[in-house]
Amino acid sequence: MIFDLTVTPGEVATSLIILMMVLILVRGLGNKSRKQVSPPGPWPLPIIGNLLQLGEHPYLTFMEMRKKYGDVFLLRLGMVPVVVVNGMETVKQVLLKDGEHFAGRPNMHTFSFLAEGKSLSFSVNYGESWKLHKKIASNALRTFSKAEAKSSTCSCLLEEHVTEEVSELVKVFVELTSKNGSFDPRNAITCAVANVVCALCFGKRYDHSDEEFLKVVKTNDDLLKASSVANPADFIPCFRYLPLKIINAPREFYQALNRFIALHVQDHLTTYDKDHMRDITDALINTCHNKYAATKTATLNDNEIISTVSDLFGAGFETVSTCLYWSFLYLIHYPEIQATIQEEIDRNIGLKPPTFEDRKSLPYTEAFINEVFRYASFLPFTIPHCTTADTILNGYFIPRKTCTFINMYQVNHDETIWDHPNLFRPERFLNENRELNKSVVEKVLIFGMGIRKCLGEDVARNEIFIFLTTVLQQLKLQKHPRAELDLTPTYGLTMKPRPYQLQAELRSSSSSSA
C-alpha cells in the first residue's frame, strides 16, 4: 500500500491555525480553571455568612476549621469574603515571600475613625506614600528609643522614662497591698505604661490620679472592649446605620483619643523649636518641616503627623500593658518560675537598676517573656490584611481586595512546632547550655512579620524587660490566699486576663538595701 505524504501549503496553514486555536483554548481553560479554584470553607448563610459560627474565641474556631479545610480556607463574614491563613510556612508565604501582594488593609468601619482614617497601621492604601510615612515614623521612634540620654545610668531616653515609671509602680504596689491587703494590678500597670508613651510622645507624664489622663486610659480600654474581629458593621454595611453600642462605640472612643492626641500635637506645632528636640512629636515635626522639605521630597502634613503619633501611642501602650498584666498573673500562678527569675536577677545584676543591656545576661527572664507572648498570644490575629493584586496561595486563587486574617494564635500553639504547646514552659526557649535559643524565639508570632510588622517590637521588648526585672528585683508577688486564678482570657481586639488579685511585699534584700 502506498501513502501520499505530500502536504499542500493550504493544509499546513490550516493545521497551524487549528494548533494555535487549541493552544489558546487550553491556556484559557487552564487560566479559567485556576481562577475557579477557590479555597475550601464552610457553607455560609445568606447575609450573615459564617458570623454565627465564630463563637467567643474565633482563633480557636479557625484552628478547628483548619483540621477540615487546611491552612488556607475561605468563609464569609456577613457580605465579605475572608481568607483565613494558618500554619507557619503559609504565614511566611503571605507576610514575607508574597508580602507585597498581601500588604493592603481592608476598608473596615471599626478602624476608619482612628486618626480620621489616616492611620499608618490601618491605612487602606499601600504604596510609596505609605512607605515614606513608615520610614519617617521609624526614624522618629528610633531617635528617642536609642538616642544618648543625659543620665549617666541610662543609655537612652526610653530607658530613662521606663526606669522612672517602674520605680513609681513598685511604690504603688506596696502601698496598695498595705492599704487593701490585695489588689488588681491592671489600673496601676496601665497608668505606668501609658505614662512611658506620653513621655516619649509628648515629653510629659501624668499623676495616676489625673482626671484627664485617667479618661484617656479608660477611653483606650473601652475601645478595645468594643472592638473585635467580628464587628457586624465591618462585614454587613447596613449595620453601620443602626443605633447599636457595638456599632457606634468605636467612633466615640476613637474620636476622644484623637482629640487628646491632636491637642498635644497642635501644642507642639505652636511651640516647636528646631534646636530643642523634646520628644517623638518634635522629631516628626523636625523631619517633616526640615529634612524632607529641603530636598523637596513628599512628606507628611500636620494631620498625618497627628495620625503617626496616634499610631505610636496605641502601639506602645496596649501591647506592653497587656503583656505585663498577663506576666504578673503567670508569676503568681507559677511561683517557682518567679523564684527562678529572681535568682537569675540576684546572681547576674544584684541590686543595681536593670538596663536594656542586661537582657543579654538574663536568658531565663527573656525566655519567660517569650513564653508569655507565645502562650497567651494576646494578639491572636494580625491587623487584617488585604490583597493588592490577584494572587495564588497554596494553589488557590485569591482575588484582589480580599480580606485576609492571619491566625498567629494557631502558629504559637502548633503541635508541629511546639512540644506540648498547651503547657507554660519558659525552658523551651533555652538550649542545653541554658542560653537563649534565638532560632526558637523567631518562631513566636506576636508582632507580625514582613512589610506590616509592628514598628515598636524592640521598644516593647525592652520596656517589658525593665518593668519585669525591676518589679521582681524588689518585690515578691503572690496571689490572694483564698483566691482562685482563672487563666481563661476575655476576647476583644486584644485578649486580657480576667480580673485577679495579687499581693506585693518587699523582698528582704530590697528592704535591707533601702
Which range of 19-33, 34-48, 295-309, 440-454 scores highest in mean pLDDT? It is: 440-454
Is the Cβ–Cβ distance between 188 and 172 less than 8 Å? yes
Going by pLDDT thresholds of 50, 70 and 90, the confidence category of residue 150 is: very low
Distance of CA 461 to the CA centre of its chain: 12
pLDDT score recorded for residue 302 = 75
Enter the C-alpha cell of residue 165.
515609671
> How is 21-83 classified by DSSP, letter by letter?
HHHHHHHHHHHHHHHH-PPP-PPPBTTTBTGGGS-S-HHHHHHHHHHHH-SEEEEEETTEEEE
Helix or strand holding residue 84 (H, E): strand 80-85
Which residue reads 484627664 in cell numbers? Answer: 212
The b-or-e profile of 217-250 (16+ CB within 10 A means b, else e) is bebbbebbbbbbbbbbbbbbeebbeeeeebbebb
Asked if residues 320 and 193 have their Cβ atoms less than 8 Å apart, the reply is yes
User: Is residue 3 scored above 50 in pLDDT?
Assistant: no
316, three cell numbers: 506602645
- The fold of 107-371+450-513 is Cytochrome p450 (1.10.630)
- Encode pLDDT of 185-225 as tens digits: 998 998 899 899 888 888 888 887 777 777 777 766 666 66
Taking the CA atoms of residue 32, residue 36, residue 37 and residue 41 in that order, the dihedral angle to the nearest 10 degrees is 180
- Identify the weakest region by mean pLDDT among 116-130, 391-405, 480-494: 116-130
H helices of 154-244, where? 157-180, 186-202, 211-226, 232-235
Gap between the Cα atoms of 514 and 512, Å rounded = 5
Q: What is the dihedral of CA 205, 207, 213, 219, to 10 degrees?
A: 110
Numbered residues of the known binding site for heme: 454
- Residue 404 — very low, low, confident or very high, per pLDDT cuts 50/70/90? very high
DSSP conformation class of 156 = S
**Count of CB atoms situated within 10 Å of the CB of 338:** 21
Q: Where are the alpha helices (DSSP H) in 272-301?
A: 280-286, 292-294
Provide the whole-model pTM. Answer: 0.85
Q: How far apart are CA 499 and CA 225, in angstroms?
A: 14
| Element holding 142 (H helix, E strand) | helix 128-146
Check if the beta carbon of residue 411 is closer than 8 Å to that of residue 373.
no
- When pLDDT is averaged across residues 46-74 and rounded to a whole number, the result is 94
Is the pLDDT confidence value at 248 over 50? yes
The annotation places the binding site at: 454
How many whole angstroms separate alpha carbon 322 and alpha carbon 372? Answer: 10
Q: Vertex 117, ends 112 and 123: CA angle to 5°?
A: 95
CB 166 within 8 A of CB 192: yes
Q: How far apart are CA 266 and CA 305, in angstroms?
A: 10
Say if residues 77 and 50 touch (Cβ distance below 8 Å): yes
DSSP-derived letter for residue 384 is: P
pLDDT (mean) for 75-89? 94
Strand-pairing partners, residue 485, are: none
pLDDT value at 290 more than 50: yes
Residue-wise pLDDT tens digits, 180-190: 999 999 989 98
Task: Say how far apart CA 498 and CA 488 lie, in whole Å.
Answer: 7
Rounded Cα distance between 438 and 310, Å, is: 32
DSSP 404-454: EEEBHHHHHT-TTTSSSTTS--GGGGB-TTS-B-HHHHTT--SS--GGG--
Q: Is the distance from CB of 502 to CB of 330 less than 8 angstroms?
A: no
Q: What is the mean pLDDT of the chain?
A: 83
**Which amino acid, 481?**
P
Radius of gyration for the alpha carbons in the chain, expressed in angstroms and rounded: 27
pLDDT tens, 292-319? 444 445 566 777 788 788 777 776 678 8
Give tens-digit pLDDT for 457-504: 888 999 999 999 999 999 999 998 888 899 999 887 789 999 999 999
With a CB cutoff of 8 Å and minimum separation 6, the contacts of 416 are none
Q: How far are the Cα atoms of 88, 346, 353, 414, 499 from residue 476, in angstroms, in the given order? A: 38, 13, 17, 34, 20
Longest Cα–Cα distance in the chain: 115
The count of other CB atoms within 10 Å of the CB of residue 26 is 10
In this predicted model, which residue has the larger pLDDT, 285 or 6? Answer: 285
